[in-house]
A = this chain, B = another copy of it.
């Protein structure tokens, strides 16, 4: 939902309800002789370009050596580490949350954008525009303590099921990317999530699922306030956006939270365009990666032909910049962990 607001603020209208995604050109195959550190990746040039980069970055004395302190790798989340179809998972959370809270807010039955959500009226929801999206977000993401919000997210993740796969949303992470994260960490990289989604929507699960601790999750944040009540400290979530970590906000978020320029960045959508720019357009060994969703059978296939017109910049820029395009259908032996 935070992601929605972030993206809305740059022109789209509730586009988060529907799409995201990205593309790019393929790369041809070759045989790797080294032992495979990425078992869910098919052998081929895609995997080899990753392992070659890591070998170069970690070879002391080599021209591409990167000191371990500088081995920062940043990953987008939606569509890069887990699926984002048929809608951003945080949007599914937000819609479920409106339904859960509706009995306590009888006026929602007749007030937009809540009415639209309760009636499943997408058209009316979109008509509510940015103002409506912010109102919706704030109604369900603010006005509670950070501990309470964490509990709500965890309870939702435990009970909600993805409409197509009928599994917890956290089962819909991409096994090859989980392996890539672990592989980078095994080679001294510090792995971060840098996402347009809400930081506190991600932190409750990223450590267990992705091996990424809360302090390495950068996302959209809302304004918060410290309070000491009955000698018990708490942090309240206020109904105001603090930081939008999307598009040109991603390099800013990286600088704000990490303070180093990454050497490795992975994304999948136009919201990720500036992150690999910031990562790769400088001297030294650098790696950009764009996930292209091409497998309608095992996951989803979606392309730049979206009605929302925001899926064309990053894939077009990828080959020009020398970023690796990962073709899901071709390059991933397994997509979700449960398919292993």
Contacts and interface: CB of A to CB of B under 8 A. Distances in A.
A184 B177 CA distance: 33
Contact of A215 (B224, B231, B250, B257): B257
A249 B221 contact: no
B233 A252 contact: no
A213 interface: yes
A23 to B, nearest CB: 21
A225 interface: yes
B215 A256 contact: no
A80 interface: no
A16 B25 CA distance: 56
A255 B274 contact: no
Contact of A281 (B221, B233, B242): B233
Given A248-B225, A252-B225, A233 B277 contact: yes
Given A235-B251, A259-B214, A260-B214, A226 B274 contact: yes
A252 B224 contact: yes
B255 A224 contact: yes
A258 interface: yes
Contact of A214 (B199, B215, B258): B258
Identical copies in the complex = 2
A231 to B, nearest CB: 7
A268 B270 CA distance: 46
B259 A203 contact: yes
Contacts of A232: 281
Contacts of A200: 259
Given A224-B256, A274-B226, A278-B226, A69 B251 contact: no
Contacts of A251: 226, 233, 235
A235 B260 CA distance: 12
Contacts of A258: 214-215
A119 interface: no
B274 A249 contact: no
A190 interface: yes
A27 interface: no
A200 B252 CA distance: 13
Interface of A: 69, 72, 146, 190, 199-200, 203, 207, 213-215, 217, 221, 224-226, 228, 231-233, 235, 242, 248-252, 255-260, 274, 277-278, 281-282
Q: 7 closest A-B pairs (Cβ-Cβ)?
A: A214-B259, A226-B248, A226-B251, A215-B258, A233-B278, A203-B259, A224-B252
8 contacts: A69-B213, A203-B259, A214-B258, A214-B259, A215-B260, A226-B251, A233-B281, A242-B256
Given A146-B255, A226-B250, A228-B274, 5 more contacts: A213-B260, A214-B260, A235-B251, A242-B256, A257-B257
